[in-house]
Structure 1
Amino acid sequence: MTDALDIDLAPVVAEQPDPLLFATVSGAHLYGFPSRDSDVDLRGVHLLPAADLVGLREPEETRSRWGYLPVRAESRTWGRDREGVEMDLVTHDLRKFVRLMLRRNGYVLEQLLSPLVVHTGEAHRELISLAPGVLTRHHAHHYRGFAITQWRLFEKTGELKPLLYTFRVLLTGIHLMRSGEVQAHLPSLLPLVEEAPAYLPDLVAAKAAQEHGKAEVDQGRVAEDVERLQKTLDEEQALSALPETPAAYDALHDFVIRVRLDGPKG
């Protein structure tokens, strides 16, 4: 994974003040349309000591860190005008992350299930095994809302990035409602969702060249396709075999207690 991004992320993980249960790459690299100057978005879970949760001080349940990482000299083949890449790391304490999982939050599930793994362990693998038990048909609301937000941003800016985000989340939501699988990688979704517009590979290729480039598209046609996919998501939510409520609440409750008391294992 680090070879694919041409950077070594292990030191970032090692310097965190509390143990990380996992760290994965999210953002455009996970979604399948990074640009040559895309930041690296690291997401994960840290484990606070039990004492931090029972005292008077507010625990640091969410941590954010920004940095600038060097790129190996032999891998500078993109025509970069710099010798590094921006990185941001956001982690939640285990309890907060699991609570987010139980709130039909597709974003944290995509982080958990990302195949771009920087750091993992037994707790990460067990949490992945529990993830299907939080999926419900109401996750469609997450993807519908995210798509609306990104579409409005596209209408305001005309940039390709929010347009690709709009299509990506709609296709992720449709596929999830049909299959029960969280798939965030847009190129992988194209053959899985037959309603995907045929021009999306061209937009992905255009995005690779420029992070904030304008979208050279027929806006009327694009608007029709977005509306069509929104309707498809509505229909698939109504037909979905996914349950109404999470099934894994008790198992996740026990998991959080056990990992907190016993600590992470490799």
Structure 2
Amino acid sequence: MIDHAKMMQHVESHPYPLLFATVSGAHLYGFPSPDSDFDLRGVHMLPLETVVGLDEGDQTVEKEGIYDGLEIDLVTHDAEKFFRLLLKRNGYVLEQIFSPLVVYSTPEHEELKSIAKNCITRHHAHHYLGFAATQWRLFAKESPPRVKPLLYVYRVLLTGINLMRTGEVEANLITLNEAAKLSYIDELVDRKRCGPEKEPFEAADLEFHTREYERLTAELEAAYEVSKLPEMPSARGELNDLLVRLRLRRSGSC
């Protein structure tokens, strides 16, 4: 459960108006630890006088705060920067837009959700393959290996496979595993949630997870090859129109 009131305290102290703020990180992925902080992500709007001048303004704003023991980390990008990221094969921004854990929203956030569906391409598979490879290297080099990067490996591979097959953005590992039916996921999630996160893996476990990583990587690569998703995003015009309207509205011109 998210404490909406405490989250909103942090959101309302942001220096710029927000388009939306949603929960990302372990809470979105379905495996928060008892002491996990809350990762909020979103989009802010810089003043028109900032974006038309020589000063580029705060393209990214990072804010941390603690409210009655609840640690919150909020990172937002200006709408232009965020929209440009959407037009690339960036799975992070898609997950932020479609996160069901909404702290703050606007009608334009709902419009952005509709537009973002036309930003999804088969090449988002490369984002998830790259992220999984990075997390696997992190898992493999640690001594002893921790369960957190391993869960990230499985989360991103299953997210990528699901995206290639359905065109739907789903970042929650528990939900993804309802279809994947990987018997070991529940045990790993319990290990992360309940405390024995740093308990060492046995050699046989490491061999097993190595095989699973290789198998699911191959499965994502195969899903990419046969995916019916488009090659390129088709939403540039819609994103440009939304950005112009947002800028003009901030200036009082419409």
TM-score by length of 1: 0.89
Q: Which residue of 2 aligns with 1:39?
A: 37
* CA distance in 2: counterparts of 1:145 and 1:211, whole angstroms: 28
Q: Which residue of 2 aligns with 1:147?
A: 132
Q: Which residue of 2 aligns with 1:119?
A: 104
* CA distance in 1: counterparts of 2:116 and 2:83, whole angstroms: 10
Relative distance call for 1:29 and 1:215 in structure 2 (3 A) is: farther
- Deviation of 1:5 after TM superposition, in Å, equals 2.6
- Deviation of 1:10 after TM superposition, in Å, equals 1.1
Q: Which residue of 2 aligns with 1:203?
A: 188
- Deviation per residue, 1:203-253 (Å, 9 max, x gap): 011110239534535000000000000000000000001000001111111
Equivalent of residue 155 in structure 2, options 168, 187, 190: 168
- Deviation per residue, 1:154-178 (Å, 9 max, x gap): 0122010000000000000000000
TM-score by length of 2: 0.93
Q: Which residue of 2 aligns with 1:106?
A: 91
Does 1:56 pair with 2:41?
no
Long gaps (5+) in structure 1: 71-83
Q: Which residue of 1 aligns with 2:169?
A: 182
Secondary structure, aligned partner of 1:21: strand
- Deviation per residue, 1:31-72 (Å, 9 max, x gap): 0000000011010000011111111223111000111121xx
Equivalent of residue 10 in structure 1, options 8, 11, 17: 8
- Deviation of 1:192 after TM superposition, in Å, equals 2.3
Long gaps (5+) in structure 2: none
Relative distance call for 1:215 and 1:241 in structure 2 (3 A) is: farther
Percent identity, please. Answer: 52
- Deviation per residue, 1:176-221 (Å, 9 max, x gap): 000000100000001223xx53111110111102395345350000
Which 4+ runs in 1 deviate beyond 3 A?
214-217
Structure number with higher helix proportion: 2
* CA distance in 2: counterparts of 1:6 and 1:48, whole angstroms: 28
